[in-house]
Homo-oligomer: A and B are copies of this chain.
Amino acid sequence: MSEAVRGNAVVGQSGGPTAVINQSLVGVIEAVSKCRAIKHLLGARHGVRGIVQEDFIDLKGLGRGLLERVAGTPASALGSTRDKPDEAYCKRIFKVFARNDVRYFFYIGGNDSADTARIVNEMAAAASHELRVFHIPKTIDNDLCVTDHCPGYGSAARFVASAFVGDDRDSASLPGIKINVVMGRHAGWLTAASALGRTDRKDGPHLVYLPEVPFSTARFLEDVGRIFARLGRCQIAVSEGIADRRGKPVAQVLAEKLGIELERDSHGNVQLSGSGALGDFLADYVKAELGRKYKSLRVRADTFGYLQRSFAGCASPVDAAEARQCGRKAVEYAMAGDLDGSVAIRRAKGSTYRASYFRARLRDVAGGTKPLPRGYINKAGNGVTAAFAKYALPLTGKLPVIGKLG
C-alpha cells in the first residue's frame, strides 16, 4: 500500500462555529497544498449537506493574505450544518466520495462529526474504497473525550472570563444582584471559565452553577442571600443547562413557581434555548424573594448568547495556534499511512504549559462527552476550584488586568 494514496480530499465544518474553527480549516489547506498526492481539495459548503449536494469550493491555490484573513475570522467560512447523518445519509456521502475519487476526508466538528466520520469510514472499508478520514475537534463546550481540551474552548473561555471581569466591575459600581447565563447545555466547562479573571475573594463571580450539579432553587436563594448580606452585591454565573434533581430545566421550574405560562411548540415542548428566559426568570425569582427583605433591590440578568462563540477580535492566541496545528496534523497523519482518527491534544506534565498532538481513535471520540470532573467543582457545588483555573488559564491567553481603588 502506498503511504499516500492519490486522489482528492474533502474538508468540511460542522455544528456550532467557534472563533477559531477557520484556523483549523486553514491548517488543512496549508498542509494539503504541500501534498502532491492530493489533486483537489474540495471545501464542502455547509458540512455534510454540501457533500451530498456536491456543493464544493476548490480550496487549492488561494492566496496567503486571504487565508490569513479567513483564519482570523470567527465562524465557519465554509458554512456549517446541524444535519446529523444517519446510515442512509452516510451512504449518500460515501457515494459522492466514490464518484469523485475522494480519498481523504477532513471533518472539523464536535462528537457528532466524529461519529459521521466513523460511519463513512466503515462504509469505505466495507466497499474496499481506500479513504482516510480525520476528525478535527472543535467545540466551545470543551466536552470531547480523549483530548485534553478542544480548539474553540480557549477563545470562548477568554470571552466569558473577560465579560465577567468587566461586568463584575460594573456590578461593583452599581451594586445589586447580577446573573449571567453562559452557554453549555450539558457540560459546565464554559460556565466555569467565568471565574478565571478573579483576583481576590471579593471579586465575582461569587457563585457558579453548573449542569453537573443538580440545581435547587431553595439552595440558590440561600447562597445569593448569604453573599448579598456579606458583600452588598452578588455576581452569579449560571449555565444555560442547569436542571433540577429530576432533570427538569430550571427555566421551567421557575416559570411554574412564578405562575408564568410558557409557550410550547407543536410537539408540546417548552422552548427554552436561544432566549433570555432562564436569566429573566432567575432575576424575577430573586427579586420576588429577596426583594421582600431588601427594598429597591437591583437585580439584572444577561444572557451572553452567540457572542461567546463568535465575537470578533478576542480569540485566544494559544487557542488559535492550536486550532491551526490540529488542521495541519490531520493532514500529516493522513499522509503517514492508511490511517484514520481524531486529532487530540496532550498536555505535557510540569509547570510550563506545552501541548503535543496525537491520533485518537474515532470511536473513542464519537462515543460520548466529558463533563467537568468533580475535582474542578467546589465542595458546595456552587463554584470552581484552583485546579480548574490551573487547567484552563493556559488556554485563554492573558486576561485583562484590573485596578481597583479603596
Contact = CB atoms under 8 A, between A and B. Distances in A.
Contacts of A261: 261
Contacts of A302: 303, 305-307
Contacts of A69: 401-403
Interface stretch (A115-123, A186-194, A271-279, A329-337): A271-279
Interface string A1-41: 00000000000010011010010000000000000000000
Interface residues of A, number: 73
A404 B77 contact: yes
Select the residue from A13, A166, A283, A304 with max chain B CB neighbours within 10 A: A166
Nearest to A78: B405
Contacts of A393: none
A280 B284 contact: no
A82 to B, nearest CB: 7
A368 interface: no
B169 A404 contact: no
Nearest to A82: B174
Contacts of A169: 17, 73-75, 77, 310, 312
Contacts of A77: 169, 403-405
Contact of A173 (B62, B76, B300, B399): B76
Interface of A: 13, 16-17, 19, 22, 43, 45, 57, 59, 62, 66-82, 162-163, 165-167, 169-170, 172-175, 178, 197, 260-261, 263, 274-277, 279-280, 283-284, 300-307, 309-314, 399-406
29 contacts: A17-B170, A22-B403, A59-B405, A69-B401, A72-B403, A73-B169, A73-B402, A73-B403, A74-B166, A75-B172, A77-B404, A77-B405, A78-B405, A79-B172, A162-B312, A165-B312, A166-B307, A166-B310, A167-B306, A260-B263, A263-B284, A274-B283, A274-B301, A275-B276, A275-B279, A276-B277, A302-B305, A312-B399, A313-B400
